[in-house]
Amino acid sequence: MKIAMGNDHTAIELKNIIREFVESKGHEVMDLGTNETGSCDYPVYGEKVGRAVASGEADLGIVICGTGLGISLAANKVKGIRACVCSEPYTAKLSRMHNNSNVLAFGARVIGSEMAKMITEAWLEAEFEGGRHERRVNMIMEIENR
């Protein structure tokens, strides 16, 4: 799978750790984040990842900022994106199984690298269950179209 990754200046170190982890699982990574330590604007990178996923250039995306919130809000503004902020693996897993999330977000100032790996692994390994959940995801997408 091809995974687009984006980050702001607060998350360079964690992005690099997760990039290596994702690649070790056999996935290709598109690095759309910053590697500059000076302050930058997280919406730029959330949008880049969202557009890469929405266009099909990437299969899924991972975005990281200080809390995961701001960058996920930016990604969610891209039509077709369902970004979720996760601080533990259970929510990450269910976000894929029930909500068909296509962008994972977490905060470099909120969780450590080992927790980030567990969250990422749970999210990447989970699959959308469809069924009753598909109807609900379609309802979410209809809101976006209105």
- Cβ atoms of residues 71 and 63 within 8 Å: yes
**For this structure, is 98 an active site residue?**
yes
Of 9, 65, 84, 86, which one is the catalytic site residue? 65
Catalytic residue among 27, 40, 98, 133: 98
Q: For residue 12, what is the enclosing H or E element?
A: helix 12-24
Residues 6+ apart with CB under 8 A from 37: 9, 12
Residue 86 is among the residues annotated as catalytic for this protein: no
Task: Render 81-128 in DSSP notation, one character per residue.
Answer: --EEE-SSHHHHHHHHHTT---EEEEETTTS-HHHHHHHHHHHHH---
Which residues are tagged catalytic? 65, 98
